[in-house]
């Protein structure tokens, strides 16, 4: 069984902050990975920093959403960074997912379903006719068809997604307290793992404030979880 992981969302442009996150999470009883999103990867020295990382689980959250040729070319363009995981929006369509999977090699390709910051009202505004549940279910089937290695969805959809998607399930939208920030579909770490998530993505609840204390709080919250 894959060991449960927690990916820390390294959402900053400051390398010193990333170094501190890594320092505080190294040699922990929890297996941590580091997720770099558009903010850091597009910052002046972000790419170079990622290329210097050794022996870390890395996740390039590019959230690629484009035509098949551009999706595949983008994955090839970041090959030198040796990411363990890279994301693509499932809404790019089956052909694009297949094209990306064809060139992703050892990097696990993660399909991002409906963002955890969206709810049914927001989907309606965009023009979708289905609700979150139906769309995520449909996208999970597409991710399975394209043989993706993992899927991102909210913890609220994990049970349903597991019926049709058989690999890793990664859930952002993780919160301990009542403050959800901009996230709409949230769950606590403990409940997300209990629902069947194989890994979690956690950003601000760990990176804002005292990281060391936040990690302690997380470990305490998850204690007695034998699969960590
Ligand atoms: O700070 P917070 O825990 O909300 O960060 C969540 C991270 O997960 C962010 O980096 C965000 O880009 C990412 N993410 C998400 N929802 C998705 C996919 C990725 O929040 N559906």
4: pLDDT strictly greater than 70: yes
pTM, two decimals, is: 0.95
Sorted by where each begins, the domain ranges of the chain are 5-222
CA of 220 to the centre of ligand 1 (A): 23
> What's the rounded Cα separation, in Å, for the pair 5 and 193?
10
Residues contacting residue 73 through CB under 8 Å, at least 6 positions apart: none
State yes or no: pLDDT of 1 exceeds 60. no
CA-182 nearest atom, ligand 1? 4
Q: What is the average pLDDT value for the chain, to the nearest integer?
A: 95
Topology classification of domain 5-222: TIM Barrel (3.20.20)
- Integer-rounded Cα radius of gyration of the chain: 17
CA angle 10, 57, 203 (to 5 degrees): 25
198-221: average pLDDT: 94
Q: Which residues line ligand 1 (CB under 6 A)?
A: 9, 11, 37, 61, 112, 115-116, 152, 172-174, 181, 183, 201-205
């Amino acid at each position: 069984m894959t060991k449960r992981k927690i990916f820390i969302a390294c959402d900053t442009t400051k390398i010193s902050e990333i170094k501190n996150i890594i320092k505080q999470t190294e040699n922990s009883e929890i297996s941590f990975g580091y997720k770099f999103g558009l903010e850091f990867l597009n910052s002046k020295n972000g790419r170079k920093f990622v290329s210097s990382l050794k022996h870390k689980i890395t996740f390039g959250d590019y959230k690629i959403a484009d035509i098949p040729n551009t999706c595949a070319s983008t994955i090839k363009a970041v090959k030198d960074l040796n990411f363990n995981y890279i994301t693509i929006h499932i809404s790019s369509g089956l052909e694009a997912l297949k094209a990306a999977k064809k060139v992703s090699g050892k990097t696990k390709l993660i399909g991002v379903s409906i963002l955890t910051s969206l709810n049914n009202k927001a989907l309606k505004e965009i023009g979708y006719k289905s609700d979150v549940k139906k769309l995520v279910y449909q996208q999970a089937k597409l991710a399975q068809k394209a043989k993706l290695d993992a899927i991102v969805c909210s913890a609220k959809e994990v049970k349903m997604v597991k019926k049709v998607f058989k690999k890793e399930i990664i859930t952002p939208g993780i919160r301990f307290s009542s403050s959800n920030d901009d996230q709409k579909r949230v769950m606590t770490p403990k409940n997300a793992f209990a629902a069947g998530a194989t890994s979690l993505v956690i950003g601000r609840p760990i990176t804002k404030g005292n990281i060391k204390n936040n990690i302690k709080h997380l470990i305490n919250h998850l204690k007695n979880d034998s699969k960590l």
